[in-house]
Structure 1
Amino acid sequence: MKTTISQVPKYEGQAVTIGAWLSNKRSSGKIAFLQLRDGTGFMQAVVAKNDVAEDIFQLAKNMTQESSMYITGNIVEDKRSPFGYEMQVSDIKLIQEAVDYPITPKEHGTEFLMDHRHLWLRSKRQHSVMKIRNEIIRATYQFFNENGYVKIDPPILTGASAEGTTELFHTQYFDEEAYLSQSGQLYLEAAAMALGKVFSFGPTFRAEKSKTRRHLIEFWMIEPEMAFMDHDESLEVQEQYVSFVVQSVLMNCKLELDTLERDTSKLEKIKAPFPRISYDDAVEMLKEKGFDDVEWGVDFGAPHETAIAESFDKPVFITNYPAEIKAFYMKPDPERSDVVLCADLIAPEGYGEIIGGSQRIDDLELMKQRYEEHDLTGPAYKWYLELRQYGSVPHSGFGLGLERTVAWLSGVEHVRETIPFPRLLNRLYP
């Protein structure tokens, strides 16, 4: 019976064959312990000299790291193992012997590991992070599909920017200028006017020369947009969505979280509703915490977000930012024209902003005014203005950064470990 490591619990007491790689091994006299991986998981295989032919035992003792094989044996329960099962080997067929695999069990520097990212992905730690990433994606589709959202794929090449063109990648689109998308939001607003509730999940690009542990040049975003929904209703969707994803990871990634030594007691507290504070209150809170340089009207950086998050054990919404530091499309607060109906969701434990969202301007004349203030005179924005001209309605949306969310839930320090092949300021390889 050919199977995978993840399916092994179904075959306790039976002989199976698995296609696997050797991630590590140790041997002592008449027994060899092989640490196997097959992409679905990790498992120990025990090769006893008295139970196999001599050539099989010698193969097991001499096999090199990352050699590939078909390995056959009986599945038995092993309560000492995190996985809970091991294989008692009866046969091994070598597929390819790996020679001088560069990533050994010893410690390696970050740059070395990043240069060998195509191989580093095979490690147990990176495997766990990628499985958590996959679960977040799976849970995202489940949440929005079950709540009546339609998946929309906005273009990656655009003729306009959602938030200004200074941090966009420019490219030539035949005889006109184009940009790599920094957000699908504008197009999703058009889709929401057609389909009600929509969401996208795709790559975005920011030509931002940042080297922090929270920034990537290319990253993935989940962006829902909802017609006939105001700002407060959108906040409820956001906290319900994040709560659903966190609980899904806790339920379906127990082994991976354990491998990463993640303190899951902190994640177990992540259930809606989330606390909310205004930008005004956040400024006062920061001043009380010793940030004397923070004045009303400045945007918050990573140290500010971390300091605010320390006061809460759940993600916290910071609402109603000054209009002058937010995007042109955000709707002003009806009671205060100097702030807009928006919120950033700040994750606990120093992981920073994971969601940015707002209610969008739905008034045609106000949007025309914003166009003038932001010099949006080109034809590339004409269609976006027309959304307010033909059947405009109140609508809201938000964007969640996948990699920051993966970092938070898996407990890794840097977002470079949360995407298979990170694109950083000075890294385009591999």
Structure 2
Amino acid sequence: MKPTISTIGRFVDQEVTIGAWIANKRSSGKIAFLQLRDGTGFIQGVVVKSAVDESTFEQAKSLPQESALYVTGTVQADDRAPSGYEITVTGLKVLHKAKDYPITPKEHGTEFLMDHRHLWIRQPRQHAILTIRHEVIRATYEFFHQEGFTKVDPPILTGSSPEGTTNLFHTQYFDEDAYLSQSGQLYMEAAALAFNRVFSFGPTFRAEKSKTRRHLIEFWMIEPEMAFVEHEENLQIQEQYVTYIAESVLRNCPQALAALERDTSKLENIQAPFPRITYTDAVAWLQEQGFDVTWGDDFGSPEETAIAEHYSKPVFITHYPKAIKPFYMEPDPENDEVVLCADLIAPEGYGEVIGGSQRIADESLLEANLEKEGLSSEAYAWYLDLRRYGSVPHSGFGLGLERTIAWLSGTEHVRETIPFPRLLNRLYP
């Protein structure tokens, strides 16, 4: 196997050659220290003047940041190094000498860094966050495969919406209106009635004019949908999934978590089962805490944060009023004013990371809800077909990838949890 920084531990006391870039460097007369990166990780290369020829040492001292090169040297175990290893360099071959790299080792403003996002993702902190993103995605596929789910891809261009078209991006689809999808849920319901348990993973779009640290215009969603699954089992599967990805990040991303100085005890505490509180009880508790909220109001960030801080784990808020939830949610058979749904609120102020519910299985009730919402039964005819031909109790949920990564990595703003964020005022780069 060709050596990389991520696999360097397999080559202790051996001479290797790796392709790398200079992330940073420093020198002290007789020794040059190169902070090297190769895309798989970071490692220090030590160049001792007495051990190399004069040209090599001068290159080590003078090569600018982000110059590309082949580095030859011997791998040494070093407990003091973040990676546990370093390279004693014996030779350098310069591939490209960078000039005036804009992101120098100093403080830069966020807008400057966002303008240079194509370069910013090379930095150790950004690399760590996106490494955790990769692990969450990898663990997601692994979890759902192990649990017997089939991956199904819903369309991105749609003629209708699960939650109305108010916040959707509109486009022309030849001679008719179309929208960029804000959720694949309705299509996943069709897939669930064909494959039993399914999940999708893909981009979604919401034209919300929000500038909060929790919002992106384009973001990625994991949306499982399950036939013959009711509200309680739906919550249990969510608990198992979130616990699984948290454990995977802890187990497989120790260096990334260390680079982010993440308090891993917070992640170790993400263990099922999660506490639950009904919306009605949450309103009463918030009122006791002095919040100006009445039954029927939707919760905002301050309310969600206060509720989450009351618990040491993620918390489910269940049974919201049907008036503030989408048309497809199943009413609670014991209280027609609320629906069988739940939002999973992450601790540490990260807010809602999952929204889910049991879906309406009765054709007449679904049709009445569509009419009440002013939605065309013709546009949703295919969705109504699912209740006409073999309807069963079914449930699902959607997990927002970027919010989840922000929470697990301890990152303040979701813009750093996606390689190239799309924000209210940003379409570049």
Shorter-normalised TM-score: what interval? over 0.9
Amino acid paired to 1:82: P
Matching of residue 115 in structure 1 with residue 151 in structure 2 = no
Please give the secondary structure, in 2, of the residue aligned with 1:419: coil
Q: Distance in 2 between matches of 1:3 and 1:251?
A: 22
CA shift, 1:44, in A, is 0.1
Other-structure match for 1:341: 340
Other-structure match for 1:243: 243
Matching of residue 10 in structure 1 with residue 25 in structure 2 = no
Amino acid paired to 2:100: D
The structure 1 segments of at least 4 consecutive aligned residues displaced by more than 3 Å after TM superposition are: none
Matching of residue 275 in structure 1 with residue 275 in structure 2 = yes
TM-score (norm 2): 0.99
Other-structure match for 1:52: 52
Other-structure match for 1:144: 144
Please give the secondary structure, in 1, of the residue aligned with 2:388: coil
Query: What does residue range 79-90 of structure 1 map to in structure 2 within 5 Å?
Result: 79-90=79-90
Matching of residue 62 in structure 1 with residue 66 in structure 2 = no
CA shift, 1:380, in A, is 2.1
Please give the secondary structure, in 1, of the residue aligned with 2:280: helix
Query: What does residue range 409-420 of structure 1 map to in structure 2 within 5 Å?
Result: 409-420=408-419
CA shift, 1:2, in A, is 4.3
Other-structure match for 1:310: 309
Query: What does residue range 195-344 of structure 1 map to in structure 2 within 5 Å?
Result: 195-291=195-291, 293-344=292-343
Please give the secondary structure, in 2, of the residue aligned with 1:343: strand
Matching of residue 395 in structure 1 with residue 399 in structure 2 = no
Amino acid paired to 1:294: V
Maintained 8 Å contact 2:129/2:409:
yes
Matching of residue 135 in structure 1 with residue 135 in structure 2 = yes
CA shift, 1:82, in A, is 1.3
Amino acid paired to 1:326: K
Query: What does residue range 164-179 of structure 1 map to in structure 2 within 5 Å?
Result: 164-179=164-179
Q: Distance in 2 between matches of 1:351 and 1:368?
A: 36
CA shift, 1:212, in A, is 0.2
CA shift, 1:378, in A, is 5.1
Deviations 1:215-256 (A, max 9, x none): 000000000000000011000000000000001100000110
Amino acid paired to 1:51: A
Other-structure match for 1:159: 159
Amino acid paired to 1:375: G
Please give the secondary structure, in 1, of the residue aligned with 2:39: coil
Amino acid paired to 1:241: Y
Deviations 1:305-355 (A, max 9, x none): 000000101000000000000000000000111000000000001000000
Q: Distance in 2 between matches of 1:377 and 1:269?
A: 46
Q: Distance in 2 between matches of 1:381 and 1:407?
A: 35
Amino acid paired to 2:220: W
Amino acid paired to 1:383: W
CA shift, 1:379, in A, is 2.6
Maintained 8 Å contact 2:322/2:339:
yes
CA shift, 1:368, in A, is 1.2
Other-structure match for 1:43: 43
CA shift, 1:266, in A, is 1.1
- State how many pairs are aligned: 429
Aligned residues with identical type, % of pairs? 70
CA shift, 1:376, in A, is 1.7
Please give the secondary structure, in 1, of the residue aligned with 2:387: coil
Other-structure match for 1:380: 379
Greater displacement, 379-388 / 227-236: 379-388
Please give the secondary structure, in 2, of the residue aligned with 1:318: strand
Q: Distance in 2 between matches of 1:376 and 1:425?
A: 28
Q: Distance in 1 between matches of 2:337 and 2:42?
A: 55
Other-structure match for 2:26: 26
Amino acid paired to 2:186: L
Query: For residues 227 and 156 of structure 1, do their structure 2 counterparts lie closer, same or farther at Cα, with a shift above 3 Å needed?
Result: same
Q: Distance in 1 between matches of 2:335 and 2:323?
A: 13
Greater displacement, 280-289 / 200-209: 280-289
Q: Distance in 2 between matches of 1:400 and 1:97?
A: 43
Greater displacement, 366-375 / 62-71: 366-375
Please give the secondary structure, in 1, of the residue aligned with 2:129: helix
Deviations 1:241-291 (A, max 9, x none): 000000110000011001000001111011000000000011011111110
Query: What does residue range 346-365 of structure 1 map to in structure 2 within 5 Å?
Result: 346-365=345-364
Maintained 8 Å contact 2:192/2:225:
yes
Please give the secondary structure, in 1, of the residue aligned with 2:380: helix
Please give the secondary structure, in 2, of the residue aligned with 1:412: coil
Q: Distance in 2 between matches of 1:164 and 1:256?
A: 39
Q: Distance in 2 between matches of 1:353 and 1:247?
A: 20
